[in-house]
Amino acid sequence: AVPYEDSLGSLGQIAIEAQTGLIQQNDVTAPSIIGRLAERIAKGIPPSFPSGFPLVDANLAAMGIKPEHIWFIVAPYKTYKTRAAMQIVDNALTLGKSVAYIALEDNEVAFTTSLMAAHFGIAKRAFENRYANKYTPKADGVDNAFQWVMEQKWRVYDRKRGIGTWQRIPAIVMADKMKYQTDLVVVDHIQKWAKRYEDLA
């Protein structure tokens, strides 16, 4: 008798509280912090991974994207923000990272096509022709792209997955992290959640 959306919201909150409980079990004192850092160094876990933009990375102390950091790609309309995000995603996947893409503007096929096009340097038109069973001289390249993307740690959450409101995202991301050991989450694009600066903040 409980509405489906309410059930999902409750499960999401349980997941968040469970994860928060796990985090809070860590000792917050300086010796423990240094101990965890030493453990990470001993395991050879790098403090960051390259973004795929060498000029950007070279000017950062971390020389790339650090865990738990937030990057914003800000530019005017139609200035290749998604293409820049795909460059970062493609580089992360090449390094074996696990990526979740929150697709607020389009759908899972459109963003997966953008990723394959970016990785292989094939025009999106070739993919669209292949989807429509039309001739394309790049058919073999498109088929190779299908095979490649199926081997990647890549997930797309579009509006069919209930990501239309930002309040649901913590639960969705946490569930994705538990299931797929997520390294990178991309939201494209954040203004679809709200227009007011206060809401976006």
Q: Chain-wide mean pLDDT for the chain?
A: 87
DSSP label at 160?
G
Q: Answer yes or no: is pLDDT of 117 > 70.
A: yes
Record the tokens describing residue 176, joined without a space. Answer: 């994705």
Give Cα separations from 124 to 76, 131, 149, 159, 189 (angstroms): 22, 11, 15, 22, 20
Q: Which pLDDT score, from 0 to 100, does residue 10 have?
A: 63
Q: Which pLDDT score, from 0 to 100, does residue 27 have?
A: 78
Residue range 121-135: mean pLDDT, rounded = 93
Q: What is the pLDDT of residues 139-151, one digit of tens each?
A: 999 999 999 999 9
- Taking the model in full, what pTM does it have? 0.80
Q: Which pLDDT score, from 0 to 100, does residue 169 have?
A: 85
